Amino acid sequence: MRKHIFNAGPCKLPMPALENTAKAVLDLNGIGQSIMEVSHRGKDFEAILDETIVLMKELLSIPEGYRVLFLGGGASSQFAMIPMNFLKTKAYYLNTGTWSTKALEEAVMYGTDKAIEIATSKDKGFTYIPKGYEMPKEGDYFHITTNNTIRGTEIHEDYTCNIPLIADMSSDFMSRPVDVSKYAMIYGGAQKNLGPAGVTFAIIKDTLIEQAATDRLIPTMMRYSIHAKNNSMYNTPPCINIFVVCEVLKWLKDFGGLSEMYKYNKAKAEKLYNAIDESKMFRGPVVKEDRSLMNIVFLLEDQYKEKEADFVKFCGEHNIVGIKGHRSVGGFRASTYNACSLEDVDALVKAMQEFEVKNL
């Protein structure tokens, strides 16, 4: 029996994507070779890469002048590649959690005077999104993390910024329509909401790629210009991972695209947040207006704290997996990514209610 999967990453994937991948692992389109055996330079894989890019451009309405790249190294490598390529005089970072802190740390290596933390929500355990600070007016770029996977906060709008806006969208990419024209770059690890671990996506404006620093030694593999020039094929790309991404995008298109997905994601999150708010046993630590639609973080009220492991076990007995909070914060986290269904959420809500009746 398939479990109710709430893992934060690698995430639950839609069944049609898994089934089609299973087939392609044995025999891709009846050509007598596995997706893992075909040449990345052959026409079969080329068609998959092209289709993936076309689908992404279509679903996100990516305007002219942007490149879609598939890279290795995870979002974590992007934390380093971004300042390596683009930090010349000054870059600004909005620090909203663990991942933004890591991104900022990579930029700080170029000088504390060059990497500026423009605002942070660290004072309250990253339970809100800072607001009211002045947007940077000059500088190489402004880096934000749109969804904070560990703390469960999310920026629900596309910021308007006069300098290139770079967004780590690892965990809310493709969860809602996005005005791509407001960003110079959007990137993330695929394993949160797009596919399996092992491939990193980057949507980059051509004009940003052209602005890369020329006064330093940037290893070939770390240059966006090289990956753009070679259409993500400078070296061997992660072929099967890209295949899965393509299948996930096809499923998303069949679902009705991003506006339908967004409605569904809101419905799931609302159901779960309502259950948390109505409960006497559980509570949500995040400021309501900044609550993530993707990673729903909740805790036991202090007097029930010792029941944390019991609840995880109780969920396990009801086929619910992946609700343990990140090891750095504890509590619980239900990741309601695109492939997570309303039925999964219903099962979790029911388990919470039953657990409460038994233990209150």
> Catalytic site residues?
99, 168, 192
By CB under 6 A, which span of 68-76, 82-90, 108-116, 299-307 interacts with ligand PLP?
68-76
By CB under 6 A, which span of 70-78, 120-128, 132-140, 306-314 interacts with ligand PLP?
70-78
Nearer to ligand PLP, 99 or 141 (CB): 99
Nearer to ligand PLP, 120 or 145 (CB): 145
Q: Write each residue from 82 to 101 as x if it is in contact with ligand PLP (CB under 6 A), else as -, in one continuous string.
A: -----------------x--
Query: Quick check: 173 binds ligand PLP (CB under 6 A)?
Result: no
For residue 70, the minimal CB distance to ligand PLP (Å) is 13
Contact positions with ligand PLP (CB under 6 A) in 129-158 = 145, 149
Helix (H), strand (E), coil (C) string for the chain: CCCEECCCCCCCCCHHHHHHHHHHHHCCCCCCCCCCCCCCCCHHHHHHHHHHHHHHHHHHCCCCCEEEEEECCHHHHHHHHHHHHHCCCCEEEEECCHHHHHHHHHHHCCCCCCEEEEEECHHHCCCCCCCCCCCCCCCCEEEEECEECCCCEECCCCCCCCCCEEEECCCCCCCCCCCHHHCCEEEEECCCCCCCCCCEEEEEEHHHHHCCCCCCCCCHHHCHHHHHHCCCCCCCCCHHHHHHHHHHHHHHHHHCHHHHHHHHHHHHHHHHHHHHHHCCCEECCCCHHHECCCEEEEEECHHHHHHHHHHHHHHHHCCEECCECCCCCCCEEEECCCCCCHHHHHHHHHHHHHHHHHHC
- Of the candidate residues 154, 168, 247, 344, the single one contacting ligand PLP (CB under 6 A): 168
For residue 101, the minimal CB distance to ligand PLP (Å) is 11
Nearer to ligand PLP, 76 or 181 (CB): 76
Query: Quick check: 170 binds ligand PLP (CB under 6 A)?
Result: yes
How many chain residues interact with ligand PLP (CB under 6 A)?
12
Query: What residues line the site for ligand PLP (CB under 6 A)?
Result: 9, 74-76, 99, 145, 149, 168, 170-171, 189, 192
